[in-house]
Structure 1
């Protein structure tokens, strides 16, 4: 599989601090039968160049409205959307009635849909060529580009097949190739894997990550599946009731005490065996995930440590783990061991009575 020649300069791209997608105060209100439904309620989002950014939330959280507002398939009720330095909300038209400038801006934004949206009467190659036809490219140029893109997504041998002859995963690969036809800077993925089985989902996610790295693509994907965020995302935002309630890099979120996303990514459970015990959630990242820190703690302070729960996985190429441990004695008895864990560069979150005792100690120290 080879990158398209037009994109080879971006093979070694990395995430930069430059935002490629920015939404500011984004609001979307739908009116239905005399009622107003607020789908987006003041959403601020900053997606940096070269990253895979996941927006996660339950059905009705506003994810689909957000991604449709990013490419102005839906026009926001208020707020602004800026993509690659251009304020799309300042351009005329919406949806299929978009003005010339908006159509041109949208040609640099690829879109991958949940249900593929392929034309059944066209071959795989013809489906990929469709955006190039709309852009007015010559037949020879369309053919060359489509075959390059099919090679890129691993379907060079299915160019003359029809959608009905493909598996779900292959159809989505065609959809991704079609989305790349206009050499977009940004790729939007609208629940692109939710109709696929787990193994196919993993292969599509790895393809998106590969394209992100090969082509320097900035990818914004929406999903309700936490494994999608865990597998490919550099950053993530959690949406609830039309608002972003948490956002940041995955590393930052995992290091944030009380983060709902961190708890959902790496759920651990277990209750203290008595009130005379201290329960702590410990998050390991990178090198810390492979060091025997817990056994060092046990030996150094001669204490028995119970492991109540643990979860470990690879996130964005970085090994990450969370562990819920129980120490003998109350919080006040464990200040030194807790300090030892913090000195090892671990993120700690006290659970239950220990959290209350810690908060009381900090308040008393003021």
Structure 2
């Protein structure tokens, strides 16, 4: 199945005070239908530039962007007809902004109606559509108030309703929760996830918070210095030895000293294996004393997933059988190292 969003070898170079600054450096990204896909990274990683290129608010220097089968980069700067096609394509891409971007002089309903005015929808149809969308985001009773009378979470709900006005196939979210408190953030993320399922949307969001990725995303990409350094479905990333995203999503902390020799294992579990008492079974079966050095467990997409770091006494060679037992239980087991007494 072809991706709804396909980005290939994307580059964006700015000229700043006579020198070139590369914001995107050969980005490849593929988002499939119905996915909630998160792009995470620190400030300056290129996330905002990437998402603004997807709807052509920023024109890429090179590379291709295809959304719902239409190559948007081909249309940019190709004359009036291509310009009309690009504008029509943009209407199928909703955008939710970090700072809401609501017009303070317009009521909530009028803000939602704005994109419908731009495309020339008649007043009766605009009113009907806006009322329907406000009900969808839980703000039917706020239609006649002004943005200054709303909380931050309510303003973002208005922004989401406005982004949905054109019946988009794709919804882009540019740090939509970074200005909100944790409780409001959770409610907005749940709304985005539920709307994605209800309206059959493909959602691409950017964030600097790993909690956002854990809460709502099916897949994720880690960006650094304008490049995607790792990407994939969360379930696959968790099963990938050495995954940086998995470590960031489920941090186990630094390896503490124990004062004894041992073999350190990092165990990843998800789905049915998360409910199995594999640690106690291992201890009873092989009469071994395990030292639990760290653990992180979360629920992602309705499935319990997590990582655990344990230490078995003795060398790797002495623990081959217990390690094999854990792998037979369907667990991913990576040997993180062997510590001698001198190094402990």
- What TM-score does the superposition give when structure 1 sets the normalisation length? 0.90
Question: 2:93·2:172 contact (CA, 8 Å) conserved in 1?
Answer: yes
Unaligned runs of 5+ in 1: 1-16, 355-366
Instruction: Write the mapping of 1:165-180 to structure 2, written as runs, cut at 5 A.
Output: 165-180=149-164
Unaligned runs of 5+ in 2: 340-344
Instruction: Write the mapping of 1:186-335 to structure 2, written as runs, cut at 5 A.
Output: 186-269=170-253, 270-271=255-256, 273-274=258-259, 276-335=261-320
Q: 1:351: how far off?
A: 1.4
The structure 1 residue matched to 2:3, chosen from 12, 15, 19, is 19
Partners of 1:135 and 1:93 in 2: CA distance? 21
> 2:84 aligned with 1:69, yes or no?
no
Question: 1:61·1:241 contact (CA, 8 Å) conserved in 2?
Answer: yes
Moved >6 Å (runs of 4+)? none
Aligned to 1:361: none
Aligned to 2:74: 90
Q: Secondary structure at the match of 1:115?
A: coil
Question: 1:114·1:190 contact (CA, 8 Å) conserved in 2?
Answer: yes
Question: 1:285·1:319 contact (CA, 8 Å) conserved in 2?
Answer: yes
Question: 2:59·2:76 contact (CA, 8 Å) conserved in 1?
Answer: no
Residues 76-97 of structure 1, C-alpha deviations (whole Å, 9 max, x = no match): 1000000000000011349xxx
Report the count of equivalent residues.
335
Q: Secondary structure at the match of 2:9?
A: strand
RMSD of Structure 2 on Structure 1 (CA): 1.2
Partners of 2:20 and 2:326 in 1: CA distance? 51
Q: 1:330: how far off?
A: 1.1
Partners of 1:140 and 1:337 in 2: CA distance? 70
Partners of 1:102 and 1:210 in 2: CA distance? 29
Q: 1:353: how far off?
A: 3.1
Question: 1:275·1:330 contact (CA, 8 Å) conserved in 2?
Answer: no
The structure 2 residue matched to 1:43, chosen from 24, 27, 45, is 27
Partners of 1:272 and 1:280 in 2: CA distance? 15
Residues 20-41 of structure 1, C-alpha deviations (whole Å, 9 max, x = no match): 0000000000001111000000
Partners of 2:145 and 2:4 in 1: CA distance? 36
Q: 1:274: how far off?
A: 4.5
Q: 1:349: how far off?
A: 2.1
